[in-house]
Amino acid sequence: MPYWIMDCKFAIYCDTVKAQPMKIHRESCSYVRSHEAHDHEWFYAPTYQNAKIITGLLEKDRNLGSSDCLVCQPSQEFKI
């Protein structure tokens, strides 16, 4: 993994070509690992809150929806 994303715990997968909703993943999610070499866009964030902000901005820019990954459930650590 490149040094500039070492502290980032969350990844956002954006495939504008297929017009699929963006997904927020934990950086350790197996989906992130299996798609790292693909040409789709990945954005990284240090916190879940930052990931939500980034997806909000991308939703407006790309006209796509977003959701959390159902496998790694990145928002789970923030629920009380």
Tell me the Cα Rg of the chain.
12
Q: Given this model, what pLDDT does residue 50 score?
A: 94
Q: What is the DSSP string of 24-75?
A: EEETT-HHHHHHTTSSSEEEEESSHHHHHHHHHHHHHHHT--EEE-TTT-TT
Q: Does position 78 have pLDDT exceeding 90, yes or no? A: no
Between residues 18 and 8, the one the model is more confident about: 8
User: pLDDT tens, 11-59?
Assistant: 898 877 776 788 999 988 887 767 665 556 888 899 999 999 999 999 9
Question: 2: pLDDT confidence band, cut at 50, 70 and 90?
Answer: low
Q: Does position 3 have pLDDT exceeding 70, yes or no? A: no
